[in-house]
Amino acid sequence: KQEVTQIPAALSVPEGENLVLNCSFTDSAIYNLQWFRQDPGKGLTSLLLIQSSQREQTSGRLNASLDKSSGRSTLYIAASQPGDSATYLCAVTSASKIIFGSGTRLSIRP
């Protein structure tokens, strides 16, 4: 059974710092991995999708990597801004199901 873990549960960093969020999964047989952002009281917004054949995807200040063999993905945020404060969730697609991690709550201090 696929399990997705995100550590730490919460992270606070000062504005301007680069940071890395982590996601791990137990079954490497995945179709893809997605990173989402969730603001309080809102739905999830897809940030990046990495297909199983890819190693990374980039969008603006965000870069997501995927290492299937080790069951890990990272989301790198460059030059963090207060507007980046949100909960970030990763989700893996395997066995025709999309399984979410519990998220990392990120706070960027001005």
Contact residues toward another protein (CB under 8 A) are 31-32, 34, 36, 42-46, 49, 51, 89, 91, 93, 96-103
| Three-state secondary structure call for residue 107 | strand
Nearer to another protein, 18 or 46 (CB): 46
**CA distance linking residue 106 with residue 92, whole number of Å:** 20
Output the smallest distance, CB 46 to another protein, in A.
Answer: 4
Nearer to another protein, 14 or 41 (CB): 41
| Tokens (6 digits) for 62 | 């965000």
**CA distance linking residue 37 with residue 49, whole number of Å:** 12
